[in-house]
Amino acid sequence: MPSAKRKAQRKKPPFPAAADGDRPARQPRQRGVDKRRRLLDAAIEFFARDGFEGASVRQICTRARANVAAVKYYFGDKSGLYRASLDAAAEALIAERPPPVPPAGADPRTMLRLMIRWAVEFTVAGGPRRVALTRIILREMREPTPVFEELLATRGAPMLGEVRGIVLALSHGALPMPAAERLALCVIVCATQYEHSIELLTRLGYPPPQTAAELDLLAEVISGMAIAYVDSRRGGGS
């Protein structure tokens, strides 16, 4: 019997991403790190364009100049690769363009303008790489996969809560509660979901805003609408 049944742990692939920071004296051979990187970049590109099911492992590996087995080796399977892509995309996006910090004691109007300006730039501006990073997140926003849940709890919920708080402070006393809630959601939809209309609007002759001035204008219109609405209910109505 030439090959015994010794099949228990033959290798131990570095699934948990090998924690880029620490390097306990023996580095993970250094050779594969750029291949891992290429795999991740290609994965973000294709997952963003075609979604989790639409993108194929072979496509991704071809673009990354890697063998299909590399996915198993570095990420376990397709889901692991997707999870890593999502994490990488979220981290890169936030790092590149961090959310605005509220100037101490800023009034709600200023805060709202800042938040919306940030959200608008976040979702519609940037080169092809940034668009890919954004689209992979936006896709999760409309069809969340289990992988997204954690990200939602740590990032999404607090941010939504903040906008909600701003709108509520802004409309204090002027609007009945349900109307204020709806207003907050409208603002969020306007600011973040614009991307979903881009194909349609471009086809109809309205390309998305690109320059800083155009982004300013879009953000100004959205925040201006919310503020004017509250003011009109405060001054005129009642």
Partner DNA sequence: CGAATGTTGAAACACTTGTTTTACTTCACG
Partner DNA sequence: CGTGAAGTAAAACAAGTGTTTCAACATTCG
Chain residues binding DNA by CB under 7 A are: 3, 7, 10-12, 14, 26, 28-32, 35, 55-59, 66-73, 77-79
E strands, the chain, in order: none
The item of DNA, a copy of itself, none sharing an interface with residue 217, based on CB under 5 to 8 Å by kind, is a copy of itself
Smallest Cα–Cα separation from 187: which of 126, 108, 125? 108
Using the minimum distance from each CB to DNA, give the nearer residue, 78 or 113. 78
47 and 82 Cβ atoms separated by less than 8 Å: yes
Dist. CA 46–CA 32, nearest whole Å: 21
Using the minimum distance from each CB to a copy of itself, give the nearer residue, 17 or 159. 159
* CB 133, min distance to DNA, A: 21
* CB 25, min distance to a copy of itself, A: 44
The item of a copy of itself, DNA, none sharing an interface with residue 79, based on CB under 5 to 8 Å by kind, is DNA
Structure tokens at 113: 């303008």
61 and 71 Cβ atoms separated by less than 8 Å: yes
163 and 115 Cβ atoms separated by less than 8 Å: yes
> Which residue ranges make up the site for a copy of itself (CB under 8 A)?
53-54, 141-144, 152, 156-157, 160, 178-179, 181-183, 185-186, 188-190, 192-194, 196-201, 203-204, 206, 209, 217-218, 220-222, 224-229, 231-233
Using the minimum distance from each CB to DNA, give the nearer residue, 30 or 238. 30
Structure tokens at 79: 């889901």
* CB 7, min distance to a copy of itself, A: 36
212 and 113 Cβ atoms separated by less than 8 Å: no
User: Residue 105: helix, strand or coil by DSSP?
Assistant: coil
Structure tokens at 49: 């364009």
Using the minimum distance from each CB to a copy of itself, give the nearer residue, 22 or 143. 143
The item of a copy of itself, DNA, none sharing an interface with residue 226, based on CB under 5 to 8 Å by kind, is a copy of itself
Dist. CA 39–CA 25, nearest whole Å: 26
